[in-house]
Every structure is written in structure tokens, then in C-alpha cells.
């Protein structure tokens, strides 16, 4: 089992209850927790220096360090208008 490290920017986004409906928030949180058991699920896609998984219209961008057995959640955001990808480029993840 891998350890999960969640960036502060992700916690800030997920902590904003008004940003996501409860159902979407639960789906995103569940998907993040499942990554500790399988960091490269069949629905993940390699992007930049890490991976991407889809949760409806939202994306979770993360990196995996196999030597340390760590999954680092880098970004969570909506796919619409490529917002999450613009943020990833600014952070050097793509």
C-alpha cells in the first residue's frame, strides 16, 4: 500500500464546500483514497511527469514514487476550458 501525500492547494480546493456538490466531492475523495491501493489503475493516463485519472468532468493529477511508495496528489480541478491543465503547466507538471 502506498502513502498518500496531498498538496495544500488540493486540500484548499476540496475544503471549499461551495465549489463541488457533495456527490462529486465524495467521488473525488474516494478516487484519491483508492490510488493508495492501486496507483496506476486501468483508467489512468500518463501526463507530463505523472498521471491523470478522471472523475466525471474533473481531473486528478498526481505523481508516483515507487521507491518511496508515495502517491502525491498534485492537482484536482474541472476539465472544462482546460483549467486544470493550465494550472499544471504553471506548476511545471506538464
Q: Which fold has domain 3-91?
A: YaeB-like fold (3.30.2310)
Is 5 in a helix, a strand, or coil? Answer: strand
Residue 72 cell numbers, joined: 502525491
Per-residue model confidence as pLDDT tens digits over 83-94:
888 888 888 887
Q: Sign of dihedral through CA atoms 81, 28, 9, 37? A: negative
pLDDT in tens, 23-79: 888 999 999 999 999 999 999 999 988 999 999 889 999 999 999 999 999 999 888
Task: Report d(CA 17, CA 67) in Å as an integer.
Answer: 35
Q: What is the pTM of this model?
A: 0.90
Contact criterion met (CB below 8 Å) for 5 and 37: no
Name the nearest CA neighbour of 3 among 49, 72, 53.
72
Amino acid at each position: 500500500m502506498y502513502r498518500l501525500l496531498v498538496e495544500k492547494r488540493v486540500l484548499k480546493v476540496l475544503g471549499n464546500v461551495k465549489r463541488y456538490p457533495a456527490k462529486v466531492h465524495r467521488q473525488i475523495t474516494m478516487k484519491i483514497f483508492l490510488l493508495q491501493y492501486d496507483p496506476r489503475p486501468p483508467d489512468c493516463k500518463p501526463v507530463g511527469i505523472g498521471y491523470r485519472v478522471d472523475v466525471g468532468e474533473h481531473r486528478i493529477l498526481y505523481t508516483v514514487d515507487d521507491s518511496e511508495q508515495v502517491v502525491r496528489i498534485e492537482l484536482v480541478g474541472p476539465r472544462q476550458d482546460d483549467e486544470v491543465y493550465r494550472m499544471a503547466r504553471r506548476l511545471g507538471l506538464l
